[in-house]
Chains A and B, each alone.
Chain A
């Protein structure tokens, strides 16, 4: 008696297959058109690996490690670390109040202050720190200050958003309780908000250091201080063995910095018992 009519099932299944095929075709056509528009010659893709192989084995290898051990270069590495340090500290100090103003549930000035803080954070975040670096170089001239300011903006954009999101996800009950008993917005922030986000803020700060340090290694590419300038110079002069050594050094420094931060975050997790943001 319980006969199942398979026709509609088959029909639906066939329709889904056809739809999927059409979608795939449209995607393929779109991709092809895009590649044509961007002037990407796919035949170069075939020779890409040969070329990369030749590039890596003949020009980048062997890396000129002697170059990166020269005192002038090592000085620039130290300068890079200094830039990242100052930019992270100043950036974080500015990002905390900005995030406080930008968070919808804790902002002391819910209208104008919130909008202004959001504009600052979004603007700092949306424009790449390399572009900020160039803008600062145009005004302040070549040098470390331009790089530090660009990195500071990058730090504000990055940490500010994460801080604000963290504040927005807190438990509102303590804040409400404090407000109800007549606490001012500063008191609410320091005793209602901050204790809830402290661990997360420290985790984000450690993570921000990683991001800022990574940017600091190349922010000097257009003359904003640090080792990036040497990367530019050796790349422009086609001294690929030196470029290779610098790239390897950057990778090593970033890995070391990430290992240290990873340990710091694990220690923080162990002490606080809270999960700390990790990427």
Chain B
């Protein structure tokens, strides 16, 4: 009895009541959130999905299944023609990521709260660029650059670079904010130029996290590069587009499988490389 007495004295009935109350409130919140989401989705389905879809074209469930069946089996005879586009996609991703890295480093230095080399205007500009880069989809970036430099891989590279700045520079800026400032101060005390400080005090401290971020971003950029061909930036996206225009369903599946293979290989390489760095 004496053992239980101690326990009862500590939390006591009020604590239990409080706990039950909090638990009940949690349940009510959860219920309210679920009901709200349910209502929103019913509204969305009724207002957009049902009127916005061409139900007659689908012509029943069996016809839809038949429609998916047309994609099978894939056409392996197309595979040899996909090597060059696959290589292009990978290369576009590599060069785009590298260019994006250069741009990100600049943006990150401007946007790191502890450095602010150009003061508040530079900081605000850098943060604005980061947000802009992330909120504009890669397809839109590609559209802008296709109209600036014409069709081809160059537009794709620029689009990927601009799209990468948001994520990479945000992580880099966070890493810069955590660096050991004494190394920078030491160089400054010896009269080093800002470039020397970046080169010898900041970049060495950023290298591990920077490299791992870049490899991760490259992996994502392969995925994006594969879609940029749809708006004229070459690579596997262009092959996909060609099969699509020709309504060659088996060919579409083949290109899809090729994209899948390239991305899986890229992901495996990325995981291996990052494991070696960290």
State how many angstroms separate the Cβ of A138 from the closest Cβ of chain B: 7
Given contacts A143-B53, A221-B139, contact A128 B244 (CB under 8 A): no
Contacts of B95 in A (CB 8 A): 31, 34-35, 38, 40
Pairs across A and B, CB under 8 Å, 19 listed: A37-B87, A38-B95, A39-B152, A48-B149, A51-B149, A82-B44, A85-B40, A86-B45, A126-B223, A126-B263, A126-B267, A127-B263, A131-B226, A135-B71, A135-B256, A146-B53, A225-B53, A247-B140, A250-B137
Identify which of residues 147-174 in chain A touch chain B, using a CB-to-CB cut-off of 8 Å: 148
Query: Which 3 residue pairs of A and B lie closest in terms of their CB atoms, listed nearest first?
Result: A144-B52, A82-B44, A254-B135
Contact B260 A130 (CB under 8 A): no
Closest to A55 in B: B148
Any A CB within 8 A of the CB of B37: yes
Tell me which of B44, B71, B95 has the highest count of chain A C-beta atoms within 10 A of its own C-beta: B44
Identify which of residues 196-219 in chain B touch chain A, using a CB-to-CB cut-off of 8 Å: none
Tell me which of A38, A52, A235 has the highest count of chain B C-beta atoms within 10 A of its own C-beta: A38
State how many angstroms separate the Cβ of A275 from the closest Cβ of chain B: 14
Contacts of B67 in A (CB 8 A): 138-140
Contacts of B249 in A (CB 8 A): 138
Secondary structure class of chain A's binding surface, majority of residues: helix
State how many angstroms separate the Cβ of B150 from the closest Cβ of chain A: 8
Contacts of A247 in B (CB 8 A): 136, 140
For A, the interface residue count at a CB cutoff of 8 angstroms equals 58
Given contacts A85-B40, A89-B41, A235-B143, contact A251 B132 (CB under 8 A): yes
**Bound: A175/B147 CA distance, A:** 56
Contact B58 A138 (CB under 8 A): no
Closest to A202 in B: B33
- Pick the residue among B45, B91, B230, B252 that contacts A135 (CB under 8 A): B252
- Pick the residue among B37, B47, B54 that contacts A89 (CB under 8 A): B37
Given contacts A52-B148, A138-B249, A251-B135, contact A38 B153 (CB under 8 A): yes
Contacts of B44 in A (CB 8 A): 81-83, 85-86
State how many angstroms separate the Cβ of B272 from the closest Cβ of chain A: 17
Identify which of residues 41-72 in chain A touch chain B, using a CB-to-CB cut-off of 8 Å: 41, 44, 48, 51-52, 55
**Bound: A247/B37 CA distance, A:** 28
Closest to B44 in A: A82
Given contacts A34-B94, A135-B256, A225-B52, contact A218 B57 (CB under 8 A): no
Any B CB within 8 A of the CB of A141: yes
For B, the interface residue count at a CB cutoff of 8 angstroms equals 62
Given contacts A48-B149, A51-B148, A128-B223, contact A40 B157 (CB under 8 A): yes
Identify which of residues 211-230 in chain A touch chain B, using a CB-to-CB cut-off of 8 Å: 214-215, 217-218, 221-222, 225
Any B CB within 8 A of the CB of A185: no
State how many angstroms separate the Cβ of B105 from the closest Cβ of chain A: 16
**Bound: A65/B256 CA distance, A:** 38
Contacts of A142 in B (CB 8 A): 54
Any A CB within 8 A of the CB of B234: yes
Contacts of B120 in A (CB 8 A): none
Contact B259 A131 (CB under 8 A): yes
Any B CB within 8 A of the CB of A255: yes
**Bound: A81/B230 CA distance, A:** 24
Give residues in A with beta carbon < 8 Å to B: 31, 34-35, 37-41, 44, 48, 51-52, 55, 78-79, 81-83, 85-86, 89, 122-123, 126-128, 130-131, 134-135, 138-146, 148, 214-215, 217-218, 221-222, 225, 231, 235, 240, 243, 247, 250-251, 254-255, 258, 279
Closest to B154 in A: A40
- Pick the residue among B52, B68, B234, B259 that contacts A143 (CB under 8 A): B52
State how many angstroms separate the Cβ of A181 from the closest Cβ of chain B: 23
Identify which of residues 233-259 in chain B touch chain A, using a CB-to-CB cut-off of 8 Å: 234, 240, 244, 249, 252, 256, 259
Contacts of B88 in A (CB 8 A): 37-38
Given contacts A85-B40, A127-B259, A255-B131, 8 further A-B contacts (CB under 8 A): A37-B87, A38-B234, A79-B48, A131-B226, A135-B256, A139-B64, A143-B53, A217-B137
State how many angstroms separate the Cβ of A277 from the closest Cβ of chain B: 13
Contacts of A127 in B (CB 8 A): 256, 259-260, 263
Contacts of B41 in A (CB 8 A): 85-86, 89
Any A CB within 8 A of the CB of B176: no
